[in-house]
Structure 1
């Protein structure tokens, strides 16, 4: 009788152990599936929409820094945490009603500053801006934006190839909400791969 009871006890224990193993296996599979779902969402939704984005240069307005067909990586996080800085190379939407058109330019003037372009020189708040990004002397100084005071969320941007660039001299200052991100890396062509300064 005792032997039979012991066998029944052992059978129950084995059954409980099997049930625990089965639950553990199901939990392990569910956890793994959840991890891979998160990974897919992170890689294909969160990264391109909120962290990094790939852009391709069209045109010659940023030569010699960037060339047509260069492929760039833009990061979006730093402008969520801080503001664009002078000389940052940015991607922005010049015409908010056209959501698919983007420009790449260099930040020259910051919010609240007065930017003046005169005799191929750029003045910020009356002081000559020391910079050597312009490819060649400016022929088109850009009327009516020869002398502009920027609002609290406005930026003055220029292409490095200033005689072949549609920038703030033509389209006016851009607003912070139009900025998509900061260009940090060129990934193509391989021979020019590297950080963008």
Structure 2
């Protein structure tokens, strides 16, 4: 009986030691996990802090990039639309094949003026190519061409840009009365221009003016402002 009791006691002692070792290992693992969690929490907090501190700078750059993109879009849409010159009717300012930039915004702020070089489609014909001509007559005026001279409301028009002589006066042999929002246009090379003298073009309505031609962009050797 004593032997059995001693054996049982030793077994209980061994079991207690095993339980103690298991508990010790469990606590050690828990402490390790807690330290790891604290470390991860600290890393996350640091990352969040870095992101929060960087947000004003990132937001500023995003805003700047957005503004640049918007400015580029507005510039291209209103000032950078390209139209190709067809024919030599505007020589020497613009030649056949020149690429011309069109200001589409200017006539939202002001009305077309005499001497402006405008881009339009005659009579709003969507199938037509763009015409590029110079305004000589304004709404409400009368235009007449007599012996190579242009008369506006009976007074001779003085022009400060290079033009060729007029031999074909077309419909302007008689007074042409311009209605409200109508313009009389001519090419600078008047011997080679189909313009308001032709019944096919006639007076140009304000609504048909696409914009103001302001710059020759190519070829590079001819690049420059249009006046």
Query: TM-score, normalised on structure 2?
Result: 0.70
CA contact (8 A) 2:117 2:133 kept: yes
- Within 2, Cα distance between the matches of 1:136 and 1:51? 30
- Within 2, Cα distance between the matches of 1:79 and 1:96? 17
Once the two structures are TM-superposed, the CA of residue 100 in structure 1 deviates from its matched residue by 6.1
Once the two structures are TM-superposed, the CA of residue 159 in structure 1 deviates from its matched residue by 0.4
The structure 1 segments of at least 4 consecutive aligned residues displaced by more than 3 Å after TM superposition are 11-18, 23-42, 132-135
Name the one with the larger strand percent.
Answer: 1
The partner residue of 2:131 within 103, 108, 122 is 103
The partner residue of 2:115 within 87, 103, 111 is 87
- 1:21 aligns with 50
Gaps of 5+ in 1: 1-10
Q: Which has the larger radius of gyration?
A: 2
- 1:191 aligns with 221
- Report the secondary structure of 1:168's partner residue: coil
- Report the secondary structure of 2:118's partner residue: strand
Once the two structures are TM-superposed, the CA of residue 58 in structure 1 deviates from its matched residue by 1.6
Once the two structures are TM-superposed, the CA of residue 17 in structure 1 deviates from its matched residue by 5.3
Once the two structures are TM-superposed, the CA of residue 174 in structure 1 deviates from its matched residue by 0.7
How many residue pairs match? The answer is 189
Gaps of 5+ in 2: 1-39
- Within 1, Cα distance between the matches of 2:46 and 2:60? 21
The partner residue of 1:125 within 136, 146, 153 is 153
Query: TM-score, normalised on structure 1?
Result: 0.79
RMSD of aligned C-alpha atoms?
Answer: 3.1
Once the two structures are TM-superposed, the CA of residue 133 in structure 1 deviates from its matched residue by 4.3
Name the one with the larger helix percent.
Answer: 2
